[in-house]
């Protein structure tokens, strides 16, 4: 049964989206390593810091939303609960800023 779950989970996204999400995950892991933060499970404070870091690098709102989607995919793909990232008030304000 687990094999079927993994198969259909892997097929849920286009290959290009999967590649983008893997790239996002790698960038997130590097960020966490650089600042000595625990990457998983996602912690709201870590996610907000990561998004602020990306914004400082010049990423716009739509790109930041893609990064959040990639982080959500990362968490769910590891069998962890949905992080409900868009329900974090601080994150919403940081992204608007």
Tens of pLDDT, residues 1-13:
688 888 888 888 9
Tens of pLDDT, residues 25-37:
999 999 999 999 9
Which burial class, exposed, middle or buried, applies to 3 when counting CB atoms under 10 A from its CB (0-12, 13-18, 19+)?
exposed
Tens of pLDDT, residues 55-83:
999 999 999 999 999 999 999 999 899 88
Task: State the Cα angle at 56 between 94 and 84, rounded to 5°.
Answer: 35
Alpha-carbon span 22 to 26, nearest angstrom? 6
Q: Which of 59, 84, 73 is nearest to 19 (CA)?
A: 73
Give 14's DSSP letter: -
């Amino acid at each position: 049964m687990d094999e079927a779950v993994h198969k259909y989970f892997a097929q849920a996204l286009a290959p290009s989206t999967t590649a983008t999400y893997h790239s996002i995950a790698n960038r997130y892991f590097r960020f966490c390593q650089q600042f000595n933060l625990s990457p998983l499970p996602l912690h709201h404070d870590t996610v907000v810091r990561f998004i602020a870091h990306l914004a400082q690098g010049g990423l716009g709102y739509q790109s930041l939303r893609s990064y959040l989607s990639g982080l959500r995919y990362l968490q769910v793909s590891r069998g962890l609960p949905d992080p409900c990232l868009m329900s974090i008030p601080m994150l919403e304000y940081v992204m608007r800023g």
